[in-house]
Chain A
Amino acid sequence: MTTLSDEYSALRRDVLVPLAERLERHIKVLCAGLDRIDRITARAKAVDRFLEKAAKTDGDGVPKYVDPLRQIQDQVGARIVVYYLSDVAPASAIVEKYLRAIETKDIVPDSEKEFGYFGKYFILLMPSDVYDNAVPLGSGPEFFELQIKTLFQHAWSEAEHDLGYKPSTRLTTEQRRRVAFTAAQAWGADLIFDELHRGIEAAE
């Protein structure tokens, strides 16, 4: 019997990985005129991360996804990393101009007393341009997730993700406080670098 793991592994190999490569190229072309882009990447979600997400339940223990292969929207994820906070808006404008946005949100911590994830987040329709005879239209997911982050937001989220997903132990309160401290530092660095950048630009 074919398991969800088998199905997703085959989909990932045959469709998602080539789609992610094409999507990365496509977004790079769209953003070619933008200044201060550090990197643009796209990836197919790892099998273990997909299965972990597919197994999630709500508060009553009911599975969150009845059809994970069609409902999980970040099977392909892309990220645009820009230098400064004021570079996020031009990158967002390009994304909204050339890609069909289904959902857009600014990720900020719930309370003004907290520090954690920051960034711009989109659910977008997979553009038809990334399909061809080898990966025909309809063979992959309809949607993908795209995040726009500054260098500091990106660096923080990568490290936090790595620490947070260690399967062996859960972070202690003290460790979580330290992680929040680094988030606050990254937030402050973003503000100051952006002020410096805008000040120097204005002087020129």
Chain B
Amino acid sequence: MDNGRAIATRLQSVTTNKSGLGLLFLMVGDESKNEAKLVVSRFPADSAILAEQREGELTVQFLERVFMKSATAYKAVVYRGVMTSTAFWTGKAVDKQINLGVAAISNYWIRDFLASDFRTTSAAGTRRLAEALRTATSTATDVTVRSEIVAAVRLARGMDGQTLSITSLLARLGLSDAAKGAACAHIPEHLLTEQFRLDADEFERHLPIRSVELDNGGLMMAPTPSFDEVFKREQVAGGERVRFVAEGVVIDDKLRKGRR
């Protein structure tokens, strides 16, 4: 009971004003000979039983609808590990209340209350995503798929700090199955669903330059974030032809080895 009370007190102390009353469930048991399992979950509740202990008396107020407001909107975590003071535990957390733009809710649950963090750091997850998208643009044979992925890179830059996985990001950006397939083709399956917080600076570090090549031999290169401002793209009437217009002062002019 003492441990349970300490956990509940900790949750109370880190719960933000965005969350209302909650009902806390704690379960602990032995998974195997040396391994314990701890389940912690929090369901939203409209109201609860309020017990106040004062000197020599306990005041109990019954507040209506004590049980959860919603059985499907909850946060939960399960930890497994060896029960010694020297062991580290890993766990799996779920946040059924997380929506776009409310990452703070997840942060208080994961970081402040559970004193935990994602297995994958922001930089590692973002680098993995950027490399997957870069590989997809260089290996996809369909130009439409490549264009979709370039557009996805532009949109993903705006998701700085958001919690996502490669799979969830591709779904949120509405990519076609072909583009999703190209982006995921070179990543082991277990990495596709691993959660991390997107780091826009890290993302840009791994995708710094965008290049567009035309069938007339023209090759344009510019920093990825400003490519569309540097090269204005115009659709030429009838068909797939496009015209790129760039304006500036020439500061360098070089000859390079070609691919042929």
Contact = CB atoms under 8 A, between A and B. Distances in A.
Contact of B191 (A73, A100, A128): A128
The size class of the interface chain B forms with chain A is: 20 to 34
B90 interface: yes
Interface string A80-107: 0000000000000000011110100000
A66 interface: yes
Contacts of B188: 131-133
Given A125-B90, A128-B194, A132-B188, 15 more contacts: A67-B34, A70-B34, A71-B82, A71-B86, A73-B88, A97-B124, A123-B88, A127-B124, A128-B119, A128-B190, A129-B128, A129-B191, A133-B188, A142-B90, A143-B88
A119 B225 CA distance: 41
A137 interface: yes
Contacts of B87: 70-71
A73 B87 CA distance: 9
Given A66-B84, A71-B82, A100 B34 contact: no
A97 B82 contact: no
Given A71-B87, A131-B190, A98 B123 contact: yes
A74 to B, nearest CB: 13
22 contacts: A66-B82, A67-B34, A67-B82, A70-B35, A71-B82, A71-B84, A71-B86, A97-B121, A99-B124, A100-B117, A100-B120, A100-B121, A102-B88, A125-B90, A125-B119, A127-B120, A128-B190, A128-B191, A132-B188, A137-B190, A142-B88, A142-B90
Given A66-B82, A128-B191, A97 B123 contact: yes
Contacts of B35: 67, 70
B34 A98 contact: no
A97 B120 CA distance: 10
A131 B188 CA distance: 8
The 9 closest A-B pairs by CB, nearest first: A67-B34, A97-B123, A98-B124, A137-B190, A67-B82, A132-B188, A102-B88, A98-B123, A70-B82
A64 B190 CA distance: 34
Given A66-B34, A67-B34, A137-B190, A128 B86 contact: no
Q: Tell me which of A66, A73, A136 has the highest count of chain B C-beta atoms within 10 A of its own C-beta.
A: A66
B127 interface: yes
Contacts of B88: 73, 102, 123, 142-143
Interface string A120-147: 0001010111011100110000110000
Nearest to B88: A102
Interface string B26-56: 0000000011000000000000000000000
Contacts of B117: 100
Contacts of A125: 90, 119
Contacts of A133: 188
